[in-house]
């Protein structure tokens, strides 16, 4: 573990923490950053950094647990006696299952094919930005205003939308927020449900990738993952504490514009380098 690799781990941790919960695709940003840093030039190094990018996402998820600890703890305590608590847990499970099945069945394809195309990521960022801008301008009258009271049908629809995020650049949070908005959730509730759904989703991704990549996790590699994990947690903490209020004031248009800019600049850089 040298100074350059520590810098790379810190930078990737910041990118992950700042982008995990906003609809710009944290995976897309991480893969593009990895490519720009030249961390994928060697197959062995690429295998490690791809795994690193998945594992540090759980650091960002812990930020959700910290910020919403009071509400989540109350759900846990009242689960045996409160129907509302049981309904909330059921909605998260229902929303989580589709992507869990797709993730397990398509694991090799996702990491072996989809993670290897910077051009695809940039194109998807641009297309997703345009769609997010259109969605933000739709006059949808919200019916669901409490993320902890989504009907199971709404939760399932959000979970199906989350499956789109197997393609880097789509954005897990973007897909789930879009699904919730189309099911007539208000913007704040859509963002919060995306937070809650991230907990089992990213925990599952963490466990699966940790197991599949256990041979390359040793010594200095574990130290770099620990650094990225902590940095990801701290930077995500800022986003989780501020995102709902930001979305309530500004909507999702700023993120749509950001996606388009990053995708366009990325394609320009790729064409120049190529």
**pLDDT (tens digit, 9 = 90+) per residue, 167-194?**
878 888 889 999 999 999 998 899 899 9
Q: Which of 196, 189, 162 is nearest to 90 (CA)?
A: 196
Q: Which residues pair with 73 in a beta bridge?
A: none
pLDDT confidence of residue 271: 84
When pLDDT is averaged across residues 202-227 and rounded to a whole number, the result is: 78
The Cα–Cα gap between 274 and 270 comes to 6
Whole-number percent of the chain with pLDDT over 90: 44
- Say how many Å lie between the first and final Cα of the chain, rounded: 30
Phi-psi region of 184 (alpha: psi -120 to 50; beta: other; left: phi over 0): left
Chain-centroid distance, C-alpha 127 = 18
pTM of the model: 0.83
pLDDT confidence of residue 254: 93
Instruction: Give the least confident one: 105-119, 156-170, 235-249, 250-264.
Output: 105-119
Whole-number percent of the chain with pLDDT over 70: 94
Q: How would residue 98 be classed by pLDDT, with cut points 50, 70 and 90? A: very high
C-alpha distances out from residue 196 to 19, 63, 69, 87, 267, Å: 16, 11, 11, 14, 33
pLDDT confidence of residue 180: 94
SS3 for 54-115 is: HHCHHHHHHHHHHHCHHHHHHHHHHCCCCHHHHHHHHHHHHHHHHHHHHHHHCHHHHHHCHH
- List the domain boundaries for the chain: 3-273
Retrieve residue 230's tokens.
């902590």
Query: Between 253 and 50, where is the model more confident?
Result: 253
pLDDT confidence of residue 28: 84
When pLDDT is averaged across residues 3-10 and rounded to a whole number, the result is: 90
Q: How would residue 109 be classed by pLDDT, with cut points 50, 70 and 90? A: confident
Q: C-alpha dihedral over 211, 213, 218, 220, to 10 degrees? A: -130
């Amino acid at each position: 573990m040298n100074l350059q690799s520590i810098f790379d781990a810190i930078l990737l941790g910041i990118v992950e923490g700042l982008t995990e919960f906003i609809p710009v695709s944290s995976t897309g940003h991480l893969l593009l950053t990895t490519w720009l840093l030249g961390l994928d030039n060697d197959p062995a190094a690429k295998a490690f950094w791809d795994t690193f990018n998945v594992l540090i996402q759980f650091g960002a998820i812990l930020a959700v647990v910290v910020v919403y600890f009071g509400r989540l703890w109350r759900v846990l305590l009242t689960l045996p006696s409160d129907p509302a608590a049981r309904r909330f847990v059921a909605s998260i499970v229902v929303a989580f299952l589709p992507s869990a099945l797709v993730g397990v069945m398509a694991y090799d394809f996702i990491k072996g094919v989809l993670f290897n195309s910077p051009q695809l990521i940039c194109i998807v960022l641009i297309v997703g930005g345009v769609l997010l801008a259109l969605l933000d301008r739709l006059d949808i009258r919200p019916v669901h205003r409490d993320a902890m009271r989504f009907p199971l049908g709404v939760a399932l629809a959000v979970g199906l939308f989350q499956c789109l995020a197997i393609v880097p650049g789509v954005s897990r949070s973007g897909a789930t927020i879009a699904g919730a908005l189309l099911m007539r959730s208000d913007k704040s509730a859509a963002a919060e449900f995306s937070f809650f759904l991230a907990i089992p989703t990213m925990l599952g991704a963490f466990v699966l990738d940790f197991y599949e990549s256990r041979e390359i996790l040793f010594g200095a590699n574990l130290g770099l993952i620990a650094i990225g994990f902590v940095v990801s947690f701290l930077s995500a903490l800022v986003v989780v504490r501020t995102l709902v209020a930001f979305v309530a004031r500004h909507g999702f248009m700023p993120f749509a514009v950001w996606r388009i800019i990053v995708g366009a600049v990325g394609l320009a850089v790729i064409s120049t380098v190529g």
